[in-house]
Amino acid sequence: MIEPPLPSFPTGSDPGPSFLGLLRRMAPDALPGALAGPGSSPGPPGPAPEGVVHGTTVVAVRYADGVVMAGDRRATAGFSIASRRIEKVFPADEHSGVAIAGAAGPAVEMVKLFQVQLQHYEKVEGEPLTLEGKANQLGQLVRANLPAAMAGFAVVPLFAGFDDRQGRGRVYSFDVTGGRYEESDFHANGSGGVHARNWIKAGWRPDLTADEAVELALRSLFAAADEDAATGGPDLVRRIFPNIAVIDAGGYRTLDADDVAGRADNLLGGRERGGDGS
């Protein structure tokens, strides 16, 4: 008998609303490397092999009505610059975003899977996941990536979104084991994350407006680029500036490149210009 073309499962092995479960049963070959299951580790434990592309600094900053996410544009492979224009901030769905630091290849695949996973759940169940549920889902994907992380392909995303139920923005960070931590106000990840975080800490207030939060995020990335070789600073010659997304009750929106360039120019007219360079 010909198999029916629509996927169907016996009771007990039905993946329910999980797209990852569906992919495991129907098309395991299409799973991103490390998620394929035990025995699929990309290599022995150790540092990343040379030539692996890494994305670097990303930040998320809560403000009065939502949350701002931003990422620099540099990707590195060892001491080389692999890309000047990589994007690290993505919409997860209409009301949340994910920003990635770590091995770029697995990270981009993880984001793609995460986006489909959220939408798949919403379509099967008829209701979207809560923000907390989305963060837990992402945590599971990060945990499944642990064998790859041990081999040097770590992915550590930042997740942020607007929580309809609580009426405020929320920020989650993750570690390589899939541990999920809700940050109270802001977080930054990646090689320049420490510098960015310190900068935000000094300027953060609970009553920031969206514009102020965007400015703070931009400044923090520029500060990180000042101290960290793997973080890309504002490129005034090629006009390359960070990617920025604003998420509030109205949903996720990306600031367009000219808008960000204008804001960056305003900032650079201020404190960063003509410093003593120390």
Partner 1 sequence: MTMPFYVSPEQVMKDRADYARKGIARGKSLVALECREGIAIVAENPSRTLYKISEIYDRIAFAGVGKYNEFQMLKIGGVRLADLKGFQYSRDDVTASSLANAYAQTLGQVFTHEMKPYEVEILVASVGATPEEPNQLFHILYDGYVVDEEGFTVLGGQSETISDAIRAEFQEGLDLGAVVRLGARVLAGERDALPASQLEVATLLRSRPARAFHRVRGEELDALLAV
Side chain identity at 46, as an amino acid letter?
G
Between residue 118 and residue 157, which ones bind partner 1 under the rule CB under 8 A? 119-120, 123-124, 126
Short-list 108, 128, 157, CA closest to 17: 128
Between residue 177 and residue 216, which ones bind partner 1 under the rule CB under 8 A? none
- Nearer residue to partner 1 within complex by CB, 121 or 222: 121
- Does residue number 63 form part of the binding site for partner 1 (CB under 8 A)? no
Rounded CA-CA distance 93/95 in Å is 6
Binding residue count for partner 1, defined by CB under 8 A: 21
- Nearer residue to partner 1 within complex by CB, 144 or 156: 144
Per-residue CA distances from 120 to 18, 23, 34, 153, 235 (Å): 7, 12, 21, 27, 38
Rounded CA-CA distance 8/16 in Å is 11
**Strands (DSSP E) along 13-93, which ranges?**
54-55, 58-63, 66-71, 75-77, 80-83, 89-93
Check if 56 is active-site.
yes
CB burial of 127-147 (b: ≥16 within 10 Å; e: otherwise) equals ebbebbebbebbbbbbbbbeb
User: Binding string to partner 1 for residues 64 to 103, with x set by CB under 8 A, is what?
Assistant: ----------------------------------------
DSSP 193: H
- Nearer residue to partner 1 within complex by CB, 18 or 198: 18
- Does residue number 269 form part of the binding site for partner 1 (CB under 8 A)? no
Determine whether 122 is exposed, middle or buried from the number of CB atoms within 10 Å of its CB (0-12, 13-18, 19+). middle
- Does residue number 12 form part of the binding site for partner 1 (CB under 8 A)? no
- Nearer residue to partner 1 within complex by CB, 2 or 237: 2
Figure out which of the listed residues 84, 85, 112, 271 binds partner 1, where binding follows CB under 8 A. 112
- Does residue number 164 form part of the binding site for partner 1 (CB under 8 A)? no
Q: Which of 56, 57, 76, 231 is catalytic?
A: 56
- Does residue number 108 form part of the binding site for partner 1 (CB under 8 A)? no
Which residues, in sequence order, are CB contacts of 200 under 8 Å at separation 6+? 59, 61, 186, 188, 216, 217, 220
CB of 255 to partner 1, least distance (A): 17
DSSP 6: S
Angle of the 210-227 helix axis to the 193-203 helix axis, nearest 10: 140
User: Binding string to partner 1 for residues 17 to 56, with x set by CB under 8 A, is what?
Assistant: --x--xx--xx--x--------------------------
Active site residues: 56
Which residues bind to partner 1, rule: CB under 8 A?
A: 1-2, 4-8, 19, 22-23, 26-27, 30, 112-113, 116, 119-120, 123-124, 126
